[in-house]
Amino acid sequence: MFALVDCNNFYVSCERVFDPTLLHRPVVVLSNNDGCVIARSQEAKLLGFKIGTPAFQAESILQRHQGVMLSSNYTLYGDMSHRVMETLSMFTPEIEIYSIDESFLSLFGQKSLYEYGQRIKSTVYQWTGIPVSVGIAPTKTLAKVANKIAKKEGSGVYVLDNDKGIKLKLSTFDVEDVWGIGGQYSAMLKAHHIDTALKLSQQKDEWVLKHLTIVGLRLVHELRGESCLSLDLITQPKKAICSSKSFSRPVETFEDLSQSISEYASTAAAKLRAQSSAATLISVFISTNRFKDEPQYGKSATMKLNVPTNFTPHIIRCATSILETIFKKGYKYKKAGIILSGIVDNNHRQIDLFSNPVHLNKQDSISSTIDSVNNRFGRKSIIFASAGIHQDWQMRRAKLTPSYTTRWDELVIVKS
DNA sequence: TCTGGGGTCCTAGGACCC
DNA sequence: TCTGGGGTCCTAGGACCC
């Protein structure tokens, strides 16, 4: 049996742990750059906000309902996520951390699944202050279904463990809510009059394979109760690492763009080193604001390296030269980013005939020194000058809450 | 004024190999 | 008249996830 434990309104719940005045009010958390809504409290959902609602549209409605709008505080959410996952690990070593706010647990030998789910839920809440919902079922896909039901039907825990019950619930479960069925597929399925999870699960294998590929076929078997997706217990290194952001204002000069690319390159390179990897492909992209009625331009280019690297100065140098090839003057740029791919294990990277191993070792020791200083004293304690000092293109985060759990100078002060 | 960021997997088609 | 068969690797595009 699988349990899917999913935090309720995770980002909002994190904020509420440290600011109880946010309880029982509509609260939304905004995307980077305070652009659009990405998380909503129950009260905010009832007001009709969707994921992706632009912040400027939400603002006046929130004001009328004593609502609150917050910038996203990923430092806080990351730390709270870690606490939740640690708590879940106390229940079983068989845990797959699927995203920042959900985990799959493998259960065996539990007598009462429902009570076990309740225990998970109350322990996480007591230890971290984060409310969670628990769905339990024989496959991951069905556990996802059970979790949705748990969220809707009150007690926060739902068990799907017998054929009859599963069929009954699937018969009223909208096909577009099935894990793995997105907008395109659900439109196609509905055009074929397949509108519930049950109907999908009853389609012929050949038909599913033809229309939904092998991925869809697995999904359908999972809906039938046949487990095809196992637990990923070991976190695999990422195959691509991206760092990109929208600017707070239109950026027109090569200098500003190259500063931002340097900054993103440093971030991406640090992520690369954190998983002991090196990259052979560096892509850079830039684009104008697609929502604006002004000349549009967007381009990306990729450079292939003979020797894999994770050395920030090297990556910055490559990224800057790529930028030179795609930059065009006269446009108002809104977004830029870098993607590192062709990822290999840094400890087994293949060097070429002309690489100097001593030189490479020196690079590694410079990198690890920088990383350890930044880990200890904060992410930007040591920066590369090419990323600039003023950075007035930096994203907007006007309504940012404190890093309650990760900065000494931002701890909560309790008064009596 | 204002619209996010970071990932995964699969498929088809083309280039290339012997 | 008549132009092979069996592979691999890479890329772009499209679907999905949170």
pLDDT, tens digit (0-9, with 9 covering 90-100), for A182-225: 999 999 999 999 999 999 999 999 999 999 999 999 999 999 99
**Residues of chain A with pLDDT > 70: what percent?**
100
pLDDT reported for residue A353: 80
Tokens 């600039």 label which residue?
A: A388
pLDDT reported for residue A407: 85
Integer distance in angstroms from the first to the last C-alpha of chain A? 48
Give CA–CA dist A181/A141, Å, rounded: 11
Nearest protein residue to B7's C1' (by CA)?
Answer: A240
Residues with CB under 7 A from strand C: A 98-102, 144, 178-186, 304
The nt closest to A283 (CA vs C1′) is: C11
pLDDT reported for residue A413: 86
Residue, of A370 and A352, whose pLDDT is higher: A370
pLDDT, tens digit (0-9, with 9 covering 90-100), for A307-354: 999 999 999 999 999 999 999 999 999 999 999 999 999 988 888 888
The nt closest to A102 (CA vs C1′) is: C18
What are the CA-CA distances from residue A54 to residues A40, A47, A400 (Å)? 13, 14, 17
Give CA–CA dist A190/A194, Å, rounded: 5
Give CA–CA dist A412/A201, Å, rounded: 50
pLDDT reported for residue A349: 83
Bases of chain B with protein Cβ within 7 A: 1-11
Question: Dihedral sign, CA of A318, A324, A325, A326?
Answer: positive
The nt closest to A33 (CA vs C1′) is: B4
pLDDT, tens digit (0-9, with 9 covering 90-100), for A232-274: 998 899 999 999 999 999 999 999 999 999 999 999 999 999 9
pLDDT over threshold 80, residue A154: no
Q: Report, in angstroms and rounded to the nearest whole number, the Rg of chain A calculated over CA atoms.
A: 24
The total of other beta-carbon atoms located within 10 Å of residue A400's CB is: 15
pLDDT reported for residue A322: 94
Q: Is the CB of A140 under 7 A from strand B?
A: no
The gap between A210 CA and C4 C1' (Å) is 30
**Three-state DSSP state, A112:** coil
pLDDT reported for residue A355: 83
Bases of chain C with protein Cβ within 7 A: 11, 14-18
The nt closest to A212 (CA vs C1′) is: C15
Query: Which spans in A106-253 are helix H?
Result: 113-128, 140-152, 163-170, 183-191, 197-201, 205-223
Q: If you average pLDDT over every residue of chain A, what do you get? A: 94
Residue A137, φ and ψ in degrees, nearest 5: -165, 170
pTM recorded for the entire structure: 0.93
Q: Which residues contact A290 (CB under 8 A, 6 or more apart)?
A: A296, A334
DSSP conformational letter for A236 = P
The gap between A152 CA and C11 C1' (Å) is 43
DSSP conformational letter for A171 = T
Q: What is the mean pLDDT of residues A345-365?
A: 88
The gap between A108 CA and B8 C1' (Å) is 28
pLDDT reported for residue A4: 98
CA angle A43, A116, A142 (to 5 degrees): 70
Protein chain A, residues 70-99, with a C-beta closer than 7 Å to any atom of nucleic acid strand B: none
pLDDT reported for residue A192: 96
